[in-house]
Chain A
């Protein structure tokens, strides 16, 4: 399986600062994989997302060292246009992602394709596909500015997806969404991965990460503090120390083990299905 994202020994500090935010990051994401990254707020998840998607160093500057390779190109030395054509970035604030260039959602989604000069027939088809996938048919004729935060986030995701990037970087894409919206986005990530896209998602929603991500990294103190399957990582006793927290299932099971109600060697559950399985035994 090819590495679509490969970070090797990445260090980074913002312009005119001395403290490094990233102090030696190694991580890889294969094509068709969904990789999650968790960590406390402000630890540098957004910074890492910007490094992978090229906006560091091209837009922000600062001191970046180490290997950042995405879809076969070296990000720091390629042009931003080159990087951007391969990597889609979805950020937390949908209002900043709505271009403002168009008055309807349908045209807003197509905006990127219009700029690339994609033929009209192809545009119509790709937009329709993405709209169907995200279930936003009833929004297409409305103004992007007349939508709720969650609806705007879905439109922002649609606008990114329609560009068909081979690598998708999602920085808290469900921050404005309710549980069913969040689930939809995670399902879409899974479906995109199954078609070969490499997906890396920075999130707090532990249960959804458990179900969708193949590999989970913990970002703490500027380094990857732990790597493993979501269940391994999220049931680790150090999650509070890392600022990641734990699901109620994990906490309940941990207490049950302490009180002797469950055997010591139990693999702690993270999600509901896990818990059902653990407590049944």
Chain B
């Protein structure tokens, strides 16, 4: 099974998946609603990082998100710092290019939102078993066929990856280089594609009839074997959190949030 889930004993792991989902959604709403450039940073430091530490996934989060986010932040800071059209206050110059404060703050704001989006989602994924998440969503209206597609895909990806790796290994042992010009690198993919794609067509009938035999097409109201605990406390917390986020959004929309202009 190929998700980011880590089976660690932590309070976050024990929460109902819907609670965590609502939490992430609220964080995302907040981070986009608050018009302060430092809002994403604040939420990162005050909410996301403590949550990650509480869930004991801090180190993992740093590594996995860092790989994605560091190049991204560098690029956006450079791009917006030098080329943002609203740039007035010059901080420094490189040749004929001026790096502006407005650009930097914009980069921190927009890039920061991306960072919060990614890290909050990752904390959710690190602490939630996909099976439990899908069960919780199915209970709340997600079509069972979608749950089936997601869980089935997650479980067969490892075997596909293994098959692909062994094909690549066999190619490499036959002397095929994976470096070189783009065309040669593309050629590496070709012998990979047909055995993998054949997997789509082979046994379609057997698999679909096996699913039919398990009443997959049934229109009855489905029941569930596994029940997820959903304490009242979490119910209340969910509502509280989303209301806060929506109120912030509303206030921001009508311009009622206090103007904090620092450092501008």
Contacts and interface: CB of A to CB of B under 8 A. Distances in A.
Interface of A: 55, 59-60, 80-81, 84-85, 88-89, 91, 93, 96-97, 99-104, 106-107, 110-120, 123-124, 127, 143-145, 159-160, 163
Contacts of B209: 55, 59, 89
Contacts, number: 106
Nearest to A145: B155
B210 interface: yes
A101 B221 CA distance: 17
A120 B227 contact: yes
A96 B214 CA distance: 13
A160 B213 CA distance: 8
Nearest to A127: B225
B210 A96 contact: yes
B215 A120 contact: no
Given A91-B206, A96-B210, A84 B215 contact: yes
B254 to A, nearest CB: 46
Shortest Cβ-Cβ A-B pairs, 3 listed: A100-B152, A103-B131, A117-B220
Contacts of A159: 214
A123 B223 CA distance: 9
Majority secondary structure of chain A interface residues (helix, strand, loop or mixed): helix
Contacts of B253: none
Majority secondary structure of chain B interface residues (helix, strand, loop or mixed): helix
A117 B222 contact: yes
Interface residues of B, number: 36
Contacts of B156: 100, 145
A114 B155 CA distance: 20
Given A103-B129, A115-B144, A127-B225, A80 B212 contact: yes
Contacts of B224: 114, 120
A53 B159 CA distance: 30
Given A103-B155, A117-B223, 8 more contacts: A97-B210, A99-B152, A104-B131, A107-B226, A115-B215, A120-B225, A143-B1, A163-B213
B151 interface: yes
A88 B213 CA distance: 7
Contacts of A107: 131, 225-226
Contacts of B147: 101
B207 interface: yes
A139 to B, nearest CB: 16
A100 B155 contact: yes
Contacts of A80: 212
Contacts of A102: 131, 151
Given A116-B220, A120-B227, A103 B215 contact: no
Residue of B1, B156, B205, B215 ringed by the most chain A CB atoms within 10 A: B215
